[in-house]
Each structure stands twice: as C-alpha cells, then as structure tokens.
C-alpha cells in the first residue's frame, strides 16, 4: 500500500502510534476548512453541540471557545482519535462541558433531539453509508436545529483528475443535498469553493 493510501486510511480512522500522529496532524491541516465552515454559522447560541467524526478534537475545542455556554458531545469511530480528542479538550472534559465517545454515525449513542447544533467536519466523505449517518444526525438534532457539514472533498476531480481524498465517497453537492432532503432536512444552503474543492452546507431539521 502506498504512502498516500496509508495516510488517507489513517485520516478516515486513525489507529495506533501512527494514528496518534495522524490525528494531531489533522487537527492542524483541517483548521482552515473548519474555521471557514464555522464562520458560516452566524449569530447563534447553541446549548448542546454534537460534533460527529470529531477526530483529534481541535474543532470541538474551537466550538467550546466560541460558545462558552454550550456543552459538546463528540463522536468518532476511532479509539485512537477519541483518546487524542479527550486530551486536547481535557479542561472541558473535567468541567463536564465536553464528552467524547467512540461510536458509529450509523447508530449515534445520543438521545433524540439532544442537540441544537450538529457539525461534521471533513468526515461525511468517509462514511460508509452516508444516508444512514445523515438520518442519525437529524434524529439527534432538535426541531429547528442546525446541521453544518464542511468538507475538503467536493467530489470533483482536480486538474490532474484526482479527487481530493482517495478512497473516499467524494459526494458532490447535488448528491449531498438530495440525501439531506431524504433525511428530512430543509432550508439547505450551500457554499462551494470550487477552486479549493471545499464545500460547506448548512441546513435545518
């Protein structure tokens, strides 16, 4: 397996020593995309945030700082990523403002309607069955709540014919919007930075 494939496999599910390094690297490399996505949220005051595919926990920390009155539930299917995320958010975890669990987005271990804001940063493209994960995101979101998706993989090959994320689903904005509608979301807004292959979608339940 080539280095490129190994890296993207670790991006999808960090494991072991290399996985801890990958989780830390992703915290740094995804910052520009994540901050771009968060900037789309505008003036909101969520009480509970659920960050799906939270990876190394950098975005959870940013959200907790942005919304100091909120609590955050994080979920990732990588045990390694969960450990890193808990260390990154150690203070918030000790203050009981943050709880990060290992789990599958196809069966999210949070109760119905618990969150005012659900986020998914650079993760939907790795979901094996995105339609199930999106429905679960809708289930845990309360009525009128906001779902934010930010992705560095817009499903469109670059000038060299390569997708920005080998071995990922690479869903185009039209495909994602169709799946979101099927999952019961509405008021779907899309910002597509085609030059950087970045996609931000905000919708409501």
Structure tokens given for 104: 């599958």
The predicted structure's pLDDT at residue 28: 61
Domain topology for 3-204? Rossmann fold (3.40.50)
Distance (Å) of CA 139 to CA 45, 74, 116:
20, 16, 11
The predicted structure's pLDDT at residue 94: 98
Q: What is the DSSP string of 38-98?
A: HGGG-S---SEEEEET-TTSHHHHHHHHHSTT-EEEEEES-HHHHHHHHHHTHHHHHTTSE
pTM: 0.85
| Residues listed for the chain | 205
The predicted structure's pLDDT at residue 155: 80
Terminal-to-terminal C-alpha distance of the chain: 41
The predicted structure's pLDDT at residue 4: 41
Per-residue pLDDT of the chain (205 residues; tens, 9 = 90+): 444 444 445 554 555 544 444 555 556 667 899 999 999 998 999 999 999 999 999 999 999 999 999 999 999 999 999 999 999 999 999 999 999 999 999 999 999 999 999 999 999 988 989 999 999 999 999 999 999 999 988 887 655 444 444 434 568 899 999 999 999 999 999 999 999 889 999 999 9
């Amino acid at each position: 397996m080539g280095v490129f494939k190994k890296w993207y496999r670790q991006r999808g599910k960090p494991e072991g020593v290399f996985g801890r390094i990958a989780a830390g690297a992703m915290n740094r490399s995804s910052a520009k995309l994540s901050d771009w996505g968060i900037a789309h949220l505008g003036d909101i005051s969520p009480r509970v945030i659920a960050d799906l595919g939270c990876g190394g926990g950098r975005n959870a920390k940013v959200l907790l700082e942005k919304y100091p009155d909120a609590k955050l539930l994080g979920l990732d299917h990588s045990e390694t990523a969960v450990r890193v995320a808990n260390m990154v958010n150690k203070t918030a975890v000790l203050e009981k403002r943050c709880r990060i669990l290992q789990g599958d987005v196809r069966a999210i271990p949070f109760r119905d309607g618990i969150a005012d804001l659900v986020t998914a940063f650079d993760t939907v493209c790795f979901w094996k069955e995105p339609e199930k994960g999106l429905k679960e995101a809708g289930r845990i979101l309360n009525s009128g709540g906001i779902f934010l998706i930010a992705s560095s993989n817009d499903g469109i090959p670059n000038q060299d014919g390569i997708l920005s994320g080998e071995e990922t689903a690479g869903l185009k904005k039209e495909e994602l919007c169709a799946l979101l509608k099927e999952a019961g979301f509405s008021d779907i807004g899309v910002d597509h930075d085609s030059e950087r292959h970045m996609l931000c979608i905000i919708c409501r339940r």
